[in-house]
Amino acid sequence: MFYIFFGKDELSRDEAIAQLLARVEDPATGDLNISRLDGRTLTFDQLRQACDAMPFLSDRRIVIVRDLLARFKQGNKEFHDQLVAYLPTMPPTTRLIFIETDVDKRLRLWKLAQDLSKENPPRAFVKEFALPDAKALPRWIAQRVQKKGGRIEPRAAHLLAEVIGEDTRLLDQELEKLTLYANGDPITVEMVRRMVPYTHAANIFALVDAIGRRQPRHALQALHHLLQENAAPTYLHYMMTRQIRLILQVKDLHAQGMDENAIRERLRQHPFVIKKLLAQSQNFTFEELETAFERLLECDIDIKTGQTDPLMAIELLVTRLAAR
């Protein structure tokens, strides 16, 4: 039997695989009957050898392959055809698990999986793990907290959804921390702001978002919200300069043909940050980013030389940038 687990919700996908392994894995032999293969470099002969091997002191053998089906989008027709021919003849003692982010549903392998999944008993199983959309995310958060034995206020769930977005693995890590911190009490907005480091960064993102959309009123609202959280004007100037610099770097790397993962590795930033920066980079041209740097420099000089009150300087800066 073979499985295709695919989708962008890596957390739910990996949890489902762990549950499957817990059901079929023999505690007496441990990992002796589990093979984990990298589909990006795997050959058909290597895969067949792993699947044809007899289980050791057990009635099942598990073979886990990551990122193989993605190769078939670029071709590899011979490998694909060999695999389609082999799968129906695979030993019944083998459980082959394909783990993918996405699957081309035009592949013959996909049709084979659909057909074999309808047999009785089924010889294939296909499941997609889609990320919850923006509307469903607060409910997903509440359910996740409940699963951990905690509770969360609706406003706190919405704040987490807004700050972290659809990164379910990062959300789960933060929810674990918040549930322990709450110690039986409901997780509140104040707890989220105190314990989740991304809330402050999200407010900077909101400020730069409004600037990028040329919305001076919203930009000033975001600025005043940060000031109400006791952020000093000089700190906000530093954060805005850093943000504009990161946007310029991301925009330049993306223009060179680098994808999101490559940019993340180059800049060593969290996926949440890179995703936001890529979105923000679409709101600025290279010329606008250069102009923003010039105005940030002018503001810095005005503050350091005492020509302008820091609060007034930062408000004027935000207004000028948003109205460019």
Q: Are residues 182 and 203 in the same domain?
A: no
Of 104, 127, 117, nearest in space to 4 by CA: 127
Which of 145, 165, 196 is the last residue before a domain boundary?
Answer: 196
Q: Last residue of some domain: 196, 212, 229?
A: 196
What is the reported pLDDT for 200? 64
% residues pLDDT > 70 (the chain):
96
23-37: pLDDT as tens digits: 777 676 667 889 999
Least confident of 22-31, 208-217, 302-311: 22-31
Do 316 and 203 lie in a common domain? yes
Confidence of residue 213 (pLDDT cuts 50, 70, 90): confident
**Does one domain contain both 159 and 142?**
yes
Residues 175 and 236 in one domain: no
Give the CATH number for residue 251: 1.20.272.10
Q: pLDDT, tens digit, for every residue of 100-109?
A: 999 999 999 9
**For the segment 246-303, what is each residue's pLDDT rounded down to a tens digit?**
999 999 999 999 999 899 888 877 777 788 889 889 989 999 999 999 999 999 999 9
Same domain, 184 and 253: no
Residue 229 tokens read as 């959280």
At 106, which CATH number? 3.40.50.300
What gap in Å lies between CA 92 and CA 54, rounded to an integer? 10
Looking at the structure, tell me whether residues 254 and 175 fall in a common domain: no
164 contact partners, CB below 8 Å, separation of at least 6: 170, 171, 174, 196, 198, 272
With a cut of 70, say whether residue 227 has pLDDT above it: yes
**Cβ(322)–Cβ(214) under 8 Å?**
yes
pTM to 2 decimal places: 0.65
As to burial, measured by CB atoms within 10 angstroms (0-12 exposed, 13-18 middle, 19+ buried), residue 183 is exposed
DSSP, collapsed to helix, strand or coil, labels residue 27 as coil
CA–CA gap between residue 95 and residue 106 (Å, rounded): 24
Whether residue 116 sits in one domain with residue 217? no
Question: What does the pLDDT look like over 165-191, one tens digit per residue?
Answer: 788 998 999 999 999 999 999 999 999
List the domain range (segments joined by +) for residue 124.
2-128
Same domain for 8 and 118? yes
Question: How many folded domains does the chain comprise?
Answer: 3
Report pLDDT for 297: 94
Among 78-87, 110-119, 224-233, which is the least confidently predicted range? Answer: 224-233
pLDDT 10s digits, 131-141: 988 789 999 99
Question: Is 193's pLDDT higher than 80?
Answer: yes
Write down the pLDDT at residue 166.
80
CB-CB neighbours of 185 under 10 Å: 10
